[in-house]
Copies of this chain bind each other. A is one copy, B any other.
Amino acid sequence: MAQKPSIPKGTRDFSPIEMAKRNYIFNTIKDVYALYGFQQIETPAMENLSTLMGKYGEEGDKLLFKILNSGDFMHGMTGEEVANTSTLKLASKFCEKGLRYDLTVPFARFVVQHREELTLPFKRYQIQPVWRADRPQKGRYREFYQCDADVVGSESLLNEVELMQIVDTVFTRFGVRVCIKINNRKILTGIAEMIGQADKIVDITVAIDKLDKIGLDAVNAELAADGIPADAIEKLQPIINLSGTNAEKLQTMRSVLKDSEIGLKGVDECEYILSKLTDLNNAIELDLTLARGLNYYTGAIFEVKALDVQIGSITGGGRYDNLTGIFGMPGLSGVGISFGADRIFDVLNQLDLYPKEAVNATQLLFVNFGESEADYCLPILAKARKAGIRSEIYPDSVKMKKQMSYANAKQIPYVAIVGESEMAEGKVNLKNMITGEQQMLTPDELVAAIC
């Protein structure tokens, strides 16, 4: 036999059971998005490279999959010209299109391109694969799905509130206990302003984040090593030691940031959002060390951690101003979240939380003992399907053992066995594959037994 075929590294095939689980995840998220008035869009896998380049930093440009132009991609270049051109420039000459790298830039492009047709605020969700030429490693793929929801064209904090409700509802439906962490870029800017160290805010959050692990003295030593002056470290003490309820934390921050207009704005925003989220099923916690996407987000920042599984953030998002400015349509504020489907898949697997009915495929298999038995079964099979029972008949009349292995492999819970005696009686022998129990039933009784 020839060498087994394979797929490109970093990509995956999804088997029926994996697909069923993934569909359960996507459908749950979709249902909740729709419940909150978000509408689905899709954009093409390929975008013009001019749309994608320069949007993800220099490193991101290198991670774009580029598509070779069809036909004469060399444009009649001579060998000499090729030899004298850099690889990166040649790539731009040979390729006009690339695969999308995320859903955010295509969404911004979509909003600008279709602005005449859209009514703002525009609440869209999008669940599609993205591609990155990252080095593949455990849990990092070159093709993976993103599940984003964003609102553009509204600065109201009610959007932030609803996104947190969506997160809470989705994980409640999954049965996963989570902690929702929120922060605000404006608070971080306020802190940096207050201590006169605007460029050190990432170092500061990284150091503060270690408090539990290394203790206060070590955190202060790290801040000093980062070049933060002693008086600034002094001013940071109430922030490093920040604890208590969200209300207590906000009170402390309000007093620490009393001279920073933007800092107080951030405190106000957090307070408003938290005040509307008093009846969530999951905990929501103000966490100043949350600094995700700091170059990107301008207001609220969110992150979700699973409580019962050791894994990184499983959902994240925040508010960004001027998303569409890169495409010449300035002044549109947006806020969004993104569920990490691959990590949620792992979490649900580890906690064994997939509902049986979500992953069950065929419910009923008719064993096939030959043409006359099959002929007897076909109208009953049709009746079962009409009642909505996912059913099949084994297509070939082969050994019983093979047919039962098939039922086991597909985890089919019911098998209908029809031989001469069943045909004579006008009945079906229904075997419950889990209990082993068998019953002689009329076709109507069979349908009723499974429905």
Chain B neighbourhood of A222, CB < 8 A: none
B96 touches A35 (CB 8 A): no
Cβ-based interface call for A80 (8 A): yes
Q: A14-B42, A39-B16, A94-B68 are in contact. Are A7 and B74 (CB under 8 A)?
A: no
Stretch of A155-163, A203-211, A425-433 at the chain-chain interface:
A155-163
Which chain B residue shows the least CB distance to A143? B44
Stretch of A83-91, A346-354, A441-449 at the chain-chain interface:
A83-91
Question: What's the least CB distance linking A107 to chain B, in Å?
Answer: 10
Which chain B residue shows the least CB distance to A156? B395
B15, B35, B41, B47: which contacts A388 (Cβ < 8 A)? B35
A37 touches B361 (CB 8 A): yes
Which chain B residue shows the least CB distance to A133? B70
B91, B113, B121, B382: which contacts A5 (Cβ < 8 A)? B113
Cβ-based interface call for A23 (8 A): yes
A7 touches B410 (CB 8 A): no
Cβ-based interface call for A58 (8 A): no
Q: How far, in angstroms, from A197 to B125 measured CA to CA in the complex? A: 58
A117 touches B158 (CB 8 A): no
B45 touches A19 (CB 8 A): no
Q: How far, in angstroms, from A389 to B8 measured CA to CA in the complex? A: 43
Which chain B residue shows the least CB distance to A364? B37
Chain B neighbourhood of A102, CB < 8 A: none
Q: How far, in angstroms, from A20 to B40 measured CA to CA in the complex? A: 8
Q: How many copies does the complex hold?
A: 2
A378 touches B276 (CB 8 A): yes
A46 touches B391 (CB 8 A): no
Q: How far, in angstroms, from A393 to B70 measured CA to CA in the complex? A: 48
Cβ-based interface call for A13 (8 A): yes
Question: What's the least CB distance linking A44 to chain B, in Å?
Answer: 4
Cβ-based interface call for A131 (8 A): yes
B15, B40, B44, B361: which contacts A117 (Cβ < 8 A)? B15
B109 touches A5 (CB 8 A): yes
Cβ-based interface call for A258 (8 A): no
A361 touches B39 (CB 8 A): yes
Q: How far, in angstroms, from A442 to B85 measured CA to CA in the complex? A: 72
B97 touches A5 (CB 8 A): no
A385 touches B35 (CB 8 A): yes
Q: How far, in angstroms, from A390 to B165 measured CA to CA in the complex? A: 14
Cβ-based interface call for A406 (8 A): yes
Q: How far, in angstroms, from A382 to B168 measured CA to CA in the complex? A: 13
Chain B neighbourhood of A187, CB < 8 A: none
B119 touches A8 (CB 8 A): no
Question: What's the least CB distance linking A291 to chain B, in Å?
Answer: 26
B113 touches A327 (CB 8 A): no
Stretch of A59-67, A260-268, A312-320 at the chain-chain interface:
A59-67
Binding site for B on A (CB under 8 A): 1-8, 11-16, 19-20, 23, 34-37, 39-48, 50-51, 62-63, 65-68, 70-74, 78-84, 87, 90-91, 94-97, 99, 109-110, 112-114, 117, 119, 121, 123-124, 129, 131, 133, 142-143, 151, 154-156, 158-159, 162, 165, 276, 279, 327-329, 361-362, 365, 368, 374, 378, 382, 385, 388-393, 395-396, 405-406, 409-410
Interface CB pairs A-B, < 8 A, 29: A1-B329, A3-B328, A4-B113, A5-B109, A5-B113, A6-B48, A6-B113, A7-B51, A8-B46, A11-B44, A13-B42, A13-B44, A13-B110, A16-B40, A19-B41, A37-B362, A44-B143, A45-B99, A65-B67, A66-B67, A74-B90, A78-B79, A94-B94, A151-B395, A156-B395, A156-B396, A158-B368, A162-B392, A165-B382
Q: A11-B44, A35-B388, A82-B83 are in contact. List 5 more A-B contacts (CB 8 A).
A: A13-B43, A39-B362, A94-B94, A119-B405, A165-B382
